[in-house]
A and B are shown apart, each in its own frame.
Chain A
Amino acid sequence: MKAYIIRRLLYMVLTLFGASVLIFGLYALTPGDFVDNNPKLTDERKAELKQMYGLDKPVVERYFVWLGNAVRGDFGYSLQYQQPVTSLLSQYIWNSFLIASASTLFTWLIAIVIGVISATRQYSFFDSAVTIGAFAAMSFPSFFAGLLIIKFFAVDLGWFPPGGMITTGSNATGLAYVWEVIDHMFLPVLVLTMLGVGSLTRYFRTNMLEIIRQDFIRTARAKGLKEKTVVYKHALRNALLPAITLLGFELPALFGGAIITEKIFNWPGVGQLYMQAFSLRDYPLLMGFTMFLAILTVVSNLLADLLYGVADPRVRLK
């Protein structure tokens, strides 16, 4: 077990190193930066700023400086906000985490319930409806789904606020504040859930269908167990196990995927921050966030694999 974790950690560091080269390389390729893009600055001032931010040094040197700082947890200063990238990210990350975790929760709950029911009633009307519905959910461009929902629920019906996290100018506190946030969360979470639920439902349905045909399910039935026990204890447990590793992909993908949704709903999360940083070419922030995603991906993959190793007796690590 220990050896396995160490091996994985070593490998993880290597992968992250590769990713950092890739990320830095991509940004270094880009002509123009925060300083160049600001027409108000004089040439002298530009040169001064460039020296200050180290933008005048060769690429390789800049990379190692950046990497050296990054390893110490310092991703530099956001040029736009004049704040350390890490503190900026940690400020906004919780807002993102709020809608990401809420939608993950709903996605999994809905996907498990619907997936199991449709697998136990394969070829029924319900099953066909679920199948088509799942494909529909997978086929919406995320931004279009967001736009449609805002247009319909916020603009036309006026049931929910069209964006933001709190009503502009509101100074609600306590429960009223919580309620206001929930009100604003509703639509973005709905969109994220809708976008994610399709493929996960398909996953659970396929998995359950496969498991229900296995010999040990026949044994469970032959033992005279209740159908509920057979489906929810014997089959579902087996279907859930491999899904643990999915979680490892889901989480980072959700942060990546929520970028669009956050932008559309004007939700003050890292995605929104990221999109703004884009238009202003705030490279330290962009690189910091991209690196954060890469770290999140690698770490959550490792955690998911370890969790799976603990949960599944067949691969239980020694």
Chain B
Amino acid sequence: MREALVEVKQLKKYYPITGGIFGRTIGHVKAVDDVSFAIRKGEAFGLVGESGSGKSTTGRTILRLTDKTAGEVKYKGVDLHAVSKQELRRLRPSMQFIFQDPYSSLNPRLRVGDAIGEALMDHGLADKSEIRERVQEVLSLCGLAPYHIDRFPHEFSGGQRQRIGIARSIILQPEFIVADEPVSALDVSIQAQIINLFSDLQEKKELTYLFISHDLSVVEHLCTRIGVMYLGSLVEIAPRDELFARPLHPYTRALLSAVPIPDPRLKRERIVLRGDIPSPANPPKGCKFHTRCPLATDRCKEEVPVLRLADSDHQVACHLV
């Protein structure tokens, strides 16, 4: 087994709910509630879950784009939430974030060349004279034309903008990339282009990915190991083939069976979950999934299941497994 590049230990991120006369904190939205996992060097780790599962907040907290509430994130052994601002800034180029919305993730008043090149300049990673060349290089690497360098973001389509966002990260030669739903705003035909770009880049640059998505099929295609989140907790982690062949958690099973398959001949037995996803401000006691779980027992209502090894490299948090 390869060494871990990123280790997340008991990470928590709570957002306060304020009220009362002096705006005291009267509760918390537990966006990320005690999450632990490791991302190994060179792998693509997928984080899937529905809205409110905290997958996106997990990604942001790992890169310290927001502050944690508790726990730690070790990147190459360094606790990212403990280092100074200067040290963090020095580490930034090697770990990059790719955003979901290709429209709001680019500054509308900055030319593509500047958007991609400015970080190189700001970090002093390249001479001014070579920046333009480097930008053009990375543009073609990401499937754009060198002449796009002088254009503004609004002159591009969603897919092309996403390429610009990727180029902006790649130019810094990162080792680790967190991609937050990078294809979910795109059309199918464009989605495939971007997914392919992600695989190509990983191959060429030996990148490690944390790929966050609600779309199981995308994650299956791109990732080698997958974690499933529900209401701020990880309920299952397993290598891809293992997870899709032998999903252990009832939620994972339901999720898998809910994805429509583009084959009208296929008639599947489908697990349709009852009810809604509860609010992370007020999650159910015990196992958070028990309100919708078709197999829930009394124990599930009381006791929180811990994530434990069910098989070699297959972890699950369920009393029934």
Whether both chains belong to one complex is answered with yes
Question: For chain A residues 69-121, which have a beta carbon within 8 Å of chain B?
Answer: none
Interface of A is mostly: helix
User: Chain A residues near B21 (CB, 8 Å)?
Assistant: 3, 6-7, 10
> Is B23 engaged at the interface, CB distance under 8 Å to the other chain?
yes
Could you tell me the distance between the alpha carbons of A42 and B113 in the complex, rounded to whole angstroms?
80
Could you tell me the distance between the alpha carbons of A134 and B19 in the complex, rounded to whole angstroms?
42
Interface string of B1-29 (1 = CB under 8 A from A): 00000000000000000011111000000
> Nearest residue in B to A10 (C-beta to C-beta)?
B21
Interface string of B111-123 (1 = CB under 8 A from A): 0000000000000
Which residues from chain B sit less than 8 Å from chain A, CB to CB? 19-23
CB distance from B289 to the nearest CB of A (A): 29
> Nearest residue in A to B23 (C-beta to C-beta)?
A7
Report how many residues on chain A are interfacial, defined by Cβ distance under 8 Å: 4
Extra 6 A-B pairs, beta carbons < 8 Å, given A3-B21, A7-B23: A3-B19, A3-B20, A6-B21, A7-B21, A7-B22, A10-B21
User: Chain B residues near A3 (CB, 8 Å)?
Assistant: 19-21
Sample of 8 A–B contacts (CB below 8 Å): A3-B19, A3-B20, A3-B21, A6-B21, A7-B21, A7-B22, A7-B23, A10-B21
User: Chain B residues near A6 (CB, 8 Å)?
Assistant: 21
Could you tell me the distance between the alpha carbons of A3 and B20 in the complex, rounded to whole angstroms?
5
Question: For chain A residues 2-56, which have a beta carbon within 8 Å of chain B?
Answer: 3, 6-7, 10
Could you tell me the distance between the alpha carbons of A195 and B36 in the complex, rounded to whole angstroms?
64
Could you tell me the distance between the alpha carbons of A136 and B20 in the complex, rounded to whole angstroms?
47
User: Chain B residues near A7 (CB, 8 Å)?
Assistant: 21-23
Could you tell me the distance between the alpha carbons of A7 and B23 in the complex, rounded to whole angstroms?
9
Could you tell me the distance between the alpha carbons of A7 and B24 in the complex, rounded to whole angstroms?
12
Could you tell me the distance between the alpha carbons of A238 and B44 in the complex, rounded to whole angstroms?
47
CB distance from A190 to the nearest CB of B (A): 46
Could you tell me the distance between the alpha carbons of A10 and B22 in the complex, rounded to whole angstroms?
10
CB distance from A164 to the nearest CB of B (A): 50
User: Chain A residues near B19 (CB, 8 Å)?
Assistant: 3
Could you tell me the distance between the alpha carbons of A6 and B20 in the complex, rounded to whole angstroms?
9
CB distance from A243 to the nearest CB of B (A): 28
User: Chain A residues near B20 (CB, 8 Å)?
Assistant: 3
CB distance from A13 to the nearest CB of B (A): 13
Could you tell me the distance between the alpha carbons of A6 and B22 in the complex, rounded to whole angstroms?
9
> Nearest residue in A to B24 (C-beta to C-beta)?
A3
> Nearest residue in B to A318 (C-beta to C-beta)?
B19
> Nearest residue in B to A7 (C-beta to C-beta)?
B21
CB distance from A134 to the nearest CB of B (A): 30
User: Chain B residues near A10 (CB, 8 Å)?
Assistant: 21
Could you tell me the distance between the alpha carbons of A315 and B258 in the complex, rounded to whole angstroms?
35
> Nearest residue in A to B26 (C-beta to C-beta)?
A3
Could you tell me the distance between the alpha carbons of A3 and B23 in the complex, rounded to whole angstroms?
9
CB distance from A163 to the nearest CB of B (A): 50
A-B pairs, top 8 by smallest CB distance, nearest first, are A3-B21, A3-B20, A7-B21, A6-B21, A3-B19, A7-B22, A10-B21, A7-B23
User: Chain A residues near B22 (CB, 8 Å)?
Assistant: 7
Could you tell me the distance between the alpha carbons of A7 and B19 in the complex, rounded to whole angstroms?
10
CB distance from B253 to the nearest CB of A (A): 35
Could you tell me the distance between the alpha carbons of A3 and B19 in the complex, rounded to whole angstroms?
8
Could you tell me the distance between the alpha carbons of A83 and B69 in the complex, rounded to whole angstroms?
63
CB distance from A38 to the nearest CB of B (A): 50
CB distance from B137 to the nearest CB of A (A): 43
